[in-house]
Amino acid sequence: MPRRHALRPRPRPRRRPATPPGGHRTSLGLNTRDPERKFQHGRALPSLARIARTLQDDGTRPDPLLALTTFNLAIGNTDAHAKNISVLRHADGTVRLAPAYDVSMHLHHPHASRVFAMDVAGERDMDALTGEHLVAEGASWGLPRRRAHRVVSQTLEALADALVAVDRSAHPRRRPARVAHRGAAHAGPAAKLPDA
């Protein structure tokens, strides 16, 4: 490694733009000083529709967002809030949904909230959400219902196939009855998916 000459001035670090009053803001314009603001809970923002519009405004299909939302609901990830969904902006100006991150199953815990972080077609109660809600949410973004249905169906089928491929002997169950019951509650969207 080359040695730095003692008299040579060090490069100045780049200055970041000033932080707006009230804290940092996300790409959705949310003030992150309030930790609860990342959850929709009936408010206009943040919303899945706004994230879908961000993708669409830059010429990207929102299908992956619907697939991610379907996956999060199917596994019981109640913490899929606005800060856990990101959009990547490339140098050429194109955007795409970032790979999934901070994804975990929460409903296996007996004291877990049964409220999804974002509204799906106006619903956020995990026990009430169905495949129809997912299709309706996608349709509200402008997706044709048939395409929204296909995205939801294919996501649930891929998840079911992946679960079949799991080596159960490498992951022994500690409480089979509880796991089966909680899992059944969230196989619901697949069972309740309407015909296209």
User: Active-site residue numbers?
Assistant: 79
CB contact at 8 A, 66 and 148:
yes
34/101 Cα distance (integer angstroms): 21
Q: How far is CA 85 from CA 33, 98, 159, in A?
A: 18, 7, 19
Question: What is the dihedral sign for C-alpha 21, 53, 84, 131?
Answer: positive
CB contact at 8 A, 114 and 126:
yes
Reported for 176-183, long-range contacts at CB under 8 A and 24+ positions apart, including other chains, are 178/108, 179/108, 182/76, 182/107, 182/108
SS3 86: coil
